[in-house]
Chains A and B, each alone.
Chain A
Amino acid sequence: MSSFSNFRPTRRGLMKGGTALAGAAALGGLPGRASAQSKTLRVLLAGDPFYYAIEGLKDQFEQESGIKIELEAISLEALQARLTSSFVSNEPDADVISVDQMWLGQYLESKWILPLDPFIKKDKDTDIEDYVPEILYSMNTWRGQVGTLPVASYAQMVFYRKDLMDAKGIKIPEDGSWTWEEYTDIIKQVNGADFDSKKIVGTVVAGQQPAPIVHMYTQLQASKGARWFKDFPAAPKWDFEPTIDSPENLGALKAFVELYKLAPPESIGYNWFDAGMRFAKGDIGMFYWWTAYSYLCKKDGYMSGKDSVVANVMGIVPLPKQPGKDQVVSLGGHSLGIAGNTQKADESWQFIKWATSAKTQKAMGLFNKFGYQFSDFARKSLYADADLLKIYPYLPGQLVALQAGNGKIVRPPAPVYTTLEGIYGLNLNNTLSGAMSPEDCLKQTSSFFTNILKGNFLIPYNQPSFDDTLDATKALIKSLA
């Protein structure tokens, strides 16, 4: 009892609380597993197939250069969130980053990535002339600077069931000399057929909003001659007046709705991979999609290593055309850039050079841990490589598609692209589900675009423009070679 009056709370009592606090502080103060050591490079990538190949090969880089690599892959949205919060708070989060073509302008202008021009010029063995110029134009250049280099490049092509078409006596042109109408007619012909103990659905779409449906639809839109803006980016003065509500686009949208009617109803919620995997399941006749699916559809699951039922009966051909319009192929993929706030710019450049080099890209194509799951080359030389052609015989067609590509028309990298894509995707999805008519969709999208562009000071556009053309890029490449 008397101990209470002799109690010295200041020492004992605080000790318990203090111990808890000290414990928390000790745990908190633990150095994160990856404190910046002198020769470790942090690489942050999107988890597309190229990631798995690089992961399998990174030991090679570590041995050759002596630089240790910490590789991390996350989903595209998480990547955006991480990168943005890292740049806004000016805290370096990674040295080499995956930069989507849509963010390139924003990142370069905000100085969140370093222009690669000086590095390329100094380093002749970058071999920049080996790249397909259309890819560099669409994915990696902005306002006359090279911001990133491509590590995986996709075009869009048509995938179909050879066995089904043969059985029905349908001939699919190998040279792209068909129209969208003929394409749809063929799908109509096979829709509902019984084949291989399955009921065939004509085609499949990626209907999920916002990005998947926009990726798929804009290919059709561009091929049919419709455009997003009046003058961007290949114009001396940029004009962001939306041209979404045009007769060409109306035609394209109606055609797209028709395709959805010939697709599984649940594909309105499909993302990129769902659509591809549905084809791989075996009950789809024909569809068009990113060329990564040339190999992805051969497996029954993402990086599962096991063949799908369509692995050996898949035909790959160029997209149909719209009579009277020049063909435009959508280009996409992933590219690597150097984070603006890194302390290790030279090491970062070394990694980028290695990952995008012909030698490494070929090794990635030959990487077999998951069964040859990479053929997204950006370099012309690789398309003539005998070893690669043996494994991926469709490469020549893919090269032609890439060379007809123009990512900057199909999905223009306007500054507020994500916001625009969000609305466009929403309205497209509503149109597919029938909640909105195609006319309303385009009208509303166009007016939304105008509001947003005005609200973000893009209409009228008072900043300096840059006449961004393929020729300008070719000249740039030459100057850096």
Chain B
Amino acid sequence: MDQTEKLPSKVFAYAMVVVLLLVFIGPIVWFVLLAIRPTATAFSMPPVLFFEPTWDAIRYTFVDPGNNRPQLFNSVIVAAGAVLLNLPFSFPAAYALSRYKIRGRKNIMLWYLGLLMAPPVAFLIPYSILASSVGLKGTYFSMILICQTLTIPFSVWLMRSFIDEVPVEIEEAARVDGASTAAIMLRIVLPLVRPGIIVTSMFAFVFSWNNAAFPLVLANRGTTTLPIGTLQYFGTAGVTWGFIAVAAVAAMIPPMLIFLALDRYVVRGLTFGSVKG
């Protein structure tokens, strides 16, 4: 961009970046330390930065009795399942909304987002009744299904903007050759929006992974997920911060790793229909 950056302004910029990192990453680091802190140093004043780490909390939560270990697997299953189920529903819809100038297209797009208006907390009891009336209470599938209310709206939006960027000419050429819509959609467009699929899946994964409200009523002991696992240590007689921190860190790591590893898609993915450059 601008090549004639003045030095003081550059220094200022870098200084701001450092401040930002301290503000946004600092607390995370501080909280992660809590997982290996000896209990006495958790609330020492002034705060203690260096201490001898203890593995007790990690042992209790993941080894013996290791209540959080199965929860980790459950979270993976629910989130991965949600991602897989999400695509067959949102991709065709995104394609249709991108390519077809149907009446009310704008309203439909906004309707998807508008679904996020409904307060999730109001749905907990009805969902639990619904799930058990069809025999799905406590199953992974019920959570995977309900998470679609979070993932599909977002996915349709993200994917549509990716599909918008694929030149229509390619499709028109294929259509001239007699290819059907399904063929075009799946064999031409889909491979070209691979970055879009990746970004959409990232967000779908993270939304489903981080959701704590639905597993609260839809899961049973065998299928409960990590965020709920942190609640278990928030007791009335006492709060075991070390355990909470370990479970919380375990809940934080996969989404963070995914976003770090697939970082190059993040910015690409979050263009909600800006002017194309």
Contact = CB atoms under 8 A, between A and B. Distances in A.
A20 B88 contact: yes
B139 A32 contact: yes
A73 interface: yes
Given A20-B84, A306-B40, A5 B133 contact: no
B223 A32 contact: yes
Q: Counting chain B CB atoms within 10 Å of each CB, which of A24, A49, A76 scores highest? A: A24
A81 B235 contact: no
A302 B238 contact: yes
Nearest to A152: B237
Nearest to B236: A76
A75 B234 contact: yes
A70 interface: yes
A4 B177 CA distance: 7
A7 B222 contact: no
B4 interface: no
A73 B39 contact: no
B254 interface: no
Contact of A89 (B137, B177, B232): B137
B196 interface: no
Contacts of B236: 46-48, 75-76, 211, 271-273
A301 B42 contact: yes
B122 to A, nearest CB: 13
A89 B131 contact: yes
B182 interface: yes
A85 interface: yes
A16 B233 CA distance: 42
A91 B132 CA distance: 6
A89 B88 contact: no
B237 A32 contact: no
A35 B140 contact: no
Contacts of B186: 9, 12-13, 16-17
A21 interface: yes
A230 to B, nearest CB: 30
Nearest to B91: A17
B42 A42 contact: no
A230 B230 CA distance: 42
A4 B42 contact: no
B217 interface: yes
A74 B231 contact: yes
Interface string A274-314: 00010000000000000010001000111110100000000
A82 B216 contact: yes
A472 B118 CA distance: 50
B85 A32 contact: no
A17 B88 CA distance: 5
Nearest to B177: A4
Task: Please indicate which of the listed interface residues B144, B233, B237 has the most CB atoms of chain A within 10 Å of its own CB.
Answer: B237
For chain A, give the interface size range: 35 or more
A292 B73 CA distance: 36
A459 B207 CA distance: 46
Interface string A47-71: 1110000010000000000000010
B84 A32 contact: no
Nearest to A154: B237
B144 A27 contact: yes
Given A27-B77, A28-B139, A85-B125, A302 B84 contact: no
B235 A47 contact: yes
A471 B70 CA distance: 49
A21 B217 contact: no
A81 B81 contact: no
B8 interface: no
Contact of B138 (A32, A70, A73): A32
A75 B132 contact: no
B40 A27 contact: no
A4 B232 contact: no
A72 interface: yes
A351 B199 CA distance: 50
Given A9-B180, A20-B85, A20-B87, A89 B133 contact: yes
A82 B22 CA distance: 39
A270 to B, nearest CB: 12
A78 B231 contact: yes
Contacts of B182: 9-10, 13-14
Contacts of B13: none
Contact of B220 (A2, A32, A272, A306): A32
A12 B179 CA distance: 13
Interface in B39-55: 39-40, 42
Interface in B180-216: 180, 182-183, 185-187, 190, 216
Contacts of B80: 27
Q: Which of B74, B137, B219 has the most CB of A within 10 A?
A: B137
A168 B206 CA distance: 59
A433 B205 CA distance: 44
Given A48-B235, A72-B221, A82-B217, A7 B179 contact: yes
Interface centre among A34, A90, A272 (most CB of B within 10 A): A34
B273 to A, nearest CB: 25
Contact of A75 (B144, B221, B235): B235
Interface of B: 39-40, 42, 65, 67, 70, 73-74, 77, 80-82, 84-85, 87-88, 91, 124-125, 128-129, 131-133, 137-141, 144-145, 174, 177-180, 182-183, 185-187, 190, 216-217, 219-223, 228, 231-240
27 contacts: A4-B174, A5-B177, A9-B180, A13-B183, A16-B186, A17-B88, A20-B85, A24-B82, A27-B80, A28-B85, A28-B140, A29-B141, A32-B74, A32-B222, A33-B222, A48-B236, A73-B235, A74-B228, A75-B232, A78-B216, A78-B228, A81-B217, A91-B132, A271-B236, A273-B238, A300-B40, A302-B237
Top 3 nearest A-B pairs (CB, nearest first) are A302-B238, A28-B141, A34-B222
Given A17-B186, A47-B235, 15 more contacts: A9-B182, A20-B84, A27-B84, A28-B139, A28-B140, A47-B232, A76-B236, A78-B216, A81-B216, A89-B131, A90-B132, A301-B39, A302-B235, A302-B240, A303-B240
